[in-house]
Amino acid sequence: MNFLAKMKGTTKSPPMVSASEIIFSWLGSFLGIASVAYINFHLVNDSDFVMLIGSFGASAVLIYGATKSPLAQPRNLIGGHVISALIGVAAFKLFNGQLYLASALAVATAVAVMHATKTLHPPGGATALIAVIGSENIHSLGFTYALIPAGAGAAIMLLVALVFNNIPGSRRYPEFWL
């Protein structure tokens, strides 16, 4: 296929999910984010810790909205967030004088390492980026950022996914663990 012909695409968009799937996706996302956000705003509010980061919104899309995707499996969810967080913090520490470079390196390296460890999880890219462009509070966490919020938050969302996604007859979760 020549270069321009490739841009036309080759197939059609997959079918829409059922109404019940839409409702379950909403409900799961609500419960998952509510759990993490409650801890963030009510339990760790007075400490230096945060529990809620933007990339969890993206994780919710996968683990409550596309439960069968390999990208949404526990290995990817936990591994993707923790590995990407470590890479993001490292990038910030090494290149905090040149934030454009630190940002790009953090995300690009996170994608590559997630691939290499079979933990590809798209929100991980955001987790890595947040380590660089996040608040002072985030920066002050250092590598702890990989444990809390990244690892702990993902673990809480995983717990909600394990319970919630196995209640409807039409759903099961996970497809695999490791």
> How far lies 167's CA from each of 33, 50, 125, 126, 155, in Å?
18, 30, 30, 30, 19
Nearer to other proteins, 43 or 162 (CB): 162
Which region, judged by CB under 8 A, interacts with other proteins, from 37-45, 64-72, 82-90, 152-160? Answer: 64-72
Q: Which of 47, 70, 71, 65 is nearest to 152 (CA)?
A: 47
Which region, judged by CB under 8 A, interacts with other proteins, from 63-71, 81-89, 95-103, 142-150? Answer: 63-71
Over the window 68 to 87, marking each residue x when it contacts other proteins by CB under 8 A and - when it does not, the resulting string is xxxx----------------
Q: Please, which residues have CB within 8 angstroms of residue 2's CB and are 6 or more apart in sequence?
A: none
Vertex 104 angle, CA 98 and 106, to 5°: 95
Nearest approach in angstroms of CB 153 to other proteins is 23
Nearest approach in angstroms of CB 69 to other proteins is 5
Task: Give the C-alpha separation, 156 to 63, whole Å.
Answer: 12
Q: Tell me phi and psi for residue 6, to 5 degrees.
A: -60, -30
Over the window 113 to 152, marking each residue x when it contacts other proteins by CB under 8 A and - when it does not, the resulting string is --x----x--------------------------------
175 binds other proteins (CB under 8 A): yes
Residues near other proteins (CB under 8 A) are 68-71, 115, 120, 175-176
